[in-house]
Structure 1
Amino acid sequence: MASITLKNVLKRYGSGKSANQVIHGVNADILDGEFIVIVGPSGCGKSTLLRMVAGLEEISGGEISIGNRVVNDLEPSERDIAMVFQNYALYPHMSVFENMAYGLKIAKVPLEEIKARVNKAARILEIGPFLQRKPRELSGGQRQRVAMGRAIVRQPQVFLFDEPLSNLDAKLRAQTRLEIQKLHRELGITALFVTHDQVEAMTLAQRMLVMNAGVVEQFGTPEEVYTQPATTFVASFMGSPPMNLLKNAPDAKAGTIAGVRPEHLDITAAGWALRVEAVEMLGAERLIYGRWVHGSGDEMVIIRTEESHAVPALGSTIHVTPRRDKMHWFDAGTGKRREAP
């Protein structure tokens, strides 16, 4: 196991005036045995950052350390890492056992040790009965577990996951998230996990790097990121539905954006007046979409209520009151968090 340190890590393609910089000075100290999620929208640089840690992309500046070694100039095979990708990359002509054992065989690990490592990983991942099957005989979730098993048997210092659940359906993704959590508890290996899915990030991370356009907008625990977003980007990206960011809220002063999550708006007899435009029924809850009755009609306000609440008629006016202790304030120019309006 090992810690990971990123010091002002940069990545640019090309040189001179035509250079395209995609990673802008990333800094992070990742503890030994910590599970870190790198989350952000497509194109934000999260996979590029992971590939630089792996050695699959050269860095343009800064320093990456794994354990006590600076690895900038080391080949991927010298970094003592194992990667699990979105595509399983299993050899179709090999059995599950052979797929998991292949890297160890190339490294000339003794056969008895190979068997012991593969059987242990198969037991942890509950794929022991499938060791003699070919990949085509497995479900998508089973193939992903084989890919994880292949990484486990290497006994690396660091696991790197690049959107490993993207090819699975929603139910299987939820199940595999639980398996990954269990796996991390049992092995305690430092892990970096890349995803664009904020649910995966919130459920898996001990801490998360929230990235936007090659910049780390916030590095913190899921609770910190959700309850104290550092920027309007983080506030809108983390949470479903996203936080309401309102320039025209009655409470907002000039140059300030008011933020409030949909679950922190209560329907009351008096308060902010909104005209109902749509209602979404989501089983145990419902989402109400409204716009200001007075003032700018451009801003949409989302309210989350329980199923027991009466459904307002489309076009009707409702009043909502934000919970004052759950309000957030952001600078309208920089998008950065303020502690007061």
Structure 2
Amino acid sequence: MSGITFRNVIKRYGKGAKANQVIHGVSAEIGDGEFVVIVGPSGCGKSTLLRMVAGLEEISAGEIAIGSRVVNDVEPAQRDIAMVFQNYALYPHMSNYDNMAYGLKIQGVPKAEIKQRVDKAAKILELSHLLERKPRELSGGQRQRVAMGRAIVRQPQVFLFDEPLSNLDAKLRAQTRLEIQKLHRELGITSLFVTHDQVEAMTLAQRIIVMNAGVMDQFGTPEEVYNRPATTFVASFIGSPPMNLLKAAPGVRSGQILGIRPEHIVVGEADGWSVNVEQVELLGAERLVYGRIGDEQIIARVDEGQFAPKVGDTVRMSARKDKLHWFDAGSGKRAE
């Protein structure tokens, strides 16, 4: 097993003055056996970064190393990685066993060893009773587990996951997340997982890379990214609903932006901002209260049993003083 190192990695499409740079000097050290999620909106460069690790995209500048070996010029097949894609890409005419075993057969692995590896992977993924079926007889979640099993039997140094849960419904996504966590605990293989879903990032990752327009805005644990976002982009992207970012509310410092999570706003106290309530959303045991301070929107999360205003009310909202975040209004970077 091996870690992954990015050293000032740059990706450009085209050459000369018309070149379009899409990755801007990413540097990061992913430890041996670590599970890292790359998260960001569409077009931020997260899949491009993953594809450069896989060897499916050329690196314009900088270095990528797997373990101690720089792989810039190493063919994909020689990088000792296994990928799981959004599309399961299973052979419909083959049994699930044969789908998982096919790559090993091509490599000339002995039949007894193939069976041992496939049986072990099937047991980990709870697929043993489904090996003789065809992919069409399985649910979407089961097909994705077969695709993961096909990657596991390779016994690679690194797993690369490219939005593997995007085609699943909400219930299956949650179930498959648990299976991926269990898989990582069992195997301990270095894993790089790309997603646009911040819930997947927060629940799966040991550490998260947050990408923004080809730039790595932050690399940290889920707790660090949520509790101490490095930029206003991270603050607004991680968290549902996102962090409130206030520029003109009373008490905001000149040249700075005040960030406050919805759960850290107190509704109904005597002091604080005067807020006109525009919408209230019921989410089971909690409500989201949407309002405005002048021209700026503010969202508060109200737990069951707490004071819940109605649409059209004017209420007071105040922020917990120990939960304030300050950002530079020009750069968007965290202000200590």
Note the C-alpha offset of 1:246.
Answer: 0.1
Query: Are 1:304 and 2:305 an aligned pair?
Result: no
Residues 38 and 209 of structure 2 are in contact (CA less than 8 Å); yes or no, is this contact kept in structure 1? yes
Note the C-alpha offset of 1:313.
Answer: 2.4
- What SS does the corresponding residue of 2:43 show, helix, strand or coil? coil
Aligned to 1:336: 333
Aligned to 2:318: 321
2:81, 2:54 → 1: CA distance? Answer: 7
- What SS does the corresponding residue of 2:133 show, helix, strand or coil? coil
**One-letter code of the match for 1:337?**
R
2:153, 2:308 → 1: CA distance? Answer: 55
1:191, 1:10 → 2: CA distance? Answer: 21
Q: Which runs of 4+ in 1 moved over 6 A?
A: none
1:75, 1:51 → 2: CA distance? Answer: 12
Alignment of 1:242-257 (within 5 A): 242-257=242-257
- What SS does the corresponding residue of 1:337 show, helix, strand or coil? coil
Residues 251 and 258 of structure 1 are in contact (CA less than 8 Å); yes or no, is this contact kept in structure 2? no
Aligned to 1:98: 98
**Could you list the per-position Cα deviations for residues 162-184 of structure 1 after superposition, in whole angstroms to 9, with x for gaps in the alignment?**
00000000011001000000000
- What SS does the corresponding residue of 1:338 show, helix, strand or coil? coil
Aligned to 1:200: 200
Gap regions ≥5 residues in structure 1:
none
- What SS does the corresponding residue of 2:218 show, helix, strand or coil? strand
Aligned to 1:291: 292
- What SS does the corresponding residue of 2:240 show, helix, strand or coil? coil
**One-letter code of the match for 2:124?**
I
Query: Are 1:275 and 2:272 an aligned pair?
Result: no
1:234, 1:310 → 2: CA distance? Answer: 30
Structure 2 length normalisation: TM-score?
A: 0.99
Note the C-alpha offset of 1:43.
Answer: 0.6
**One-letter code of the match for 1:283?**
G
Alignment of 1:78-97 (within 5 A): 78-97=78-97
Structure 1 length normalisation: TM-score?
A: 0.97
Q: Quote the RMSD (CA, aligned, Å).
A: 0.7
**Could you list the per-position Cα deviations for residues 169-215 of structure 1 after superposition, in whole angstroms to 9, with x for gaps in the alignment?**
00110010000000000000000000000000000000010000000
2:213, 2:2 → 1: CA distance? Answer: 28
Q: Which moved more, 1:305-314 or 1:197-206?
A: 305-314
- What SS does the corresponding residue of 2:263 show, helix, strand or coil? helix
Aligned to 2:214: 214
**One-letter code of the match for 2:229?**
P
- What SS does the corresponding residue of 1:122 show, helix, strand or coil? helix
**One-letter code of the match for 1:174?**
A
Gap regions ≥5 residues in structure 2:
none
Aligned residue pair count = 335
Alignment of 1:136-215 (within 5 A): 136-215=136-215
Residues 242 and 261 of structure 1 are in contact (CA less than 8 Å); yes or no, is this contact kept in structure 2? yes
Aligned to 1:223: 223
Alignment of 1:39-54 (within 5 A): 39-54=39-54
2:58, 2:94 → 1: CA distance? Answer: 32
2:270, 2:147 → 1: CA distance? Answer: 56
Percent of paired sites with the same residue = 76
2:66, 2:251 → 1: CA distance? Answer: 48
Alignment of 1:46-85 (within 5 A): 46-85=46-85
Aligned to 2:263: 263
